[in-house]
Amino acid sequence: MTGLRTHRSLRLALVAVAVAIAASVLIQLAQDGWVLLPSISDYFYSPARGVFVGGLTAASVALLALSGRDTESIMLDVAAVFAPLIAIIPTGYRGQPFVPADVLPTVRNGVGVYLVMVAALLVLAVILATRGEVAWRRVAIVGGIAGAVSAALAVLAFAPGVSESFPFAGRVNLHLVATICFFAMFAAIPLITAFGSAERTERRYRLIYLTVALLIAVALVLTVVAAIVRPEDGGVLIGETVALTAFAVFWTTQTIERWRDADPPSILAG
């Protein structure tokens, strides 16, 4: 029963994270006289920052801790690679491609901690794989992505001649890139759950998963286009809100479907 309770608690915690971020933004919105900022990510520059950063960090830990289902398991781990970056690396201040000078030291501190934690987790993953407790293919895929992301981030954040424009090297919004990568996983996972699983998914759940995948895909396109064309007009806010809501719906639905799954099958050694 302990495994069952832990599995349920982790799943409910992820739903709670989405609710907490939404509540924090709504409370701040009310305090601001219902004047919207350009995006949810812009609330990093408001009193909602603590919940925004803490919630996404907690989500990353929960995603790593949860057992998965084959390919879905790997995609959850990849999502966990990008979730903290959405929190650590802010979007541009009020839609402009820069981060205030007084905020940058905090951002670089967070990046440094991220690099240390990724390195520690990669070492742990190799040890566990050597002991036969984690599949090498899983370590290779997730570890390869995490290692590549960390190496690129280290250069962009700290290398002389490059770090001066961080986090907008080449005018590329790294926060937006991390957000797209995170939600791309959650656009693909419902499709895998509905059609790629060896277990049969009930029709009602399959319809919800397909709808969620479509909504997140559309939201991502809207977010990217709005961020490039007119970041100040609210398109990014709408895209992020739709993606976050769809994520919450997917995770809540899957939690209901798998409420009694104490230890879902995952990619294990051998």
Say what the pTM is: 0.85
Calpha distance 70→85 (Å, rounded): 25
Residues 104-157 have pLDDT tens digits of 999 999 999 999 999 999 999 999 999 988 888 889 999 999 999 999 999 999
The answer to whether the beta carbons of residues 198 and 98 sit under 8 Å apart is no
Residues 146-197 have pLDDT tens digits of 999 999 999 999 998 888 888 988 778 899 899 999 988 888 888 887 776 5
Q: What is the mean pLDDT of the segment spanning 248-267?
A: 73
Residue 69: per-residue pLDDT: 55
Residues 196-214 have pLDDT tens digits of 655 556 788 888 888 999 9
Confidence band for 262, pLDDT divided at 50, 70 and 90: low
Handedness of CA 3, 144, 134, 124 (dihedral sign): negative
For 65, phi then psi, to 5°, come to -75, -30
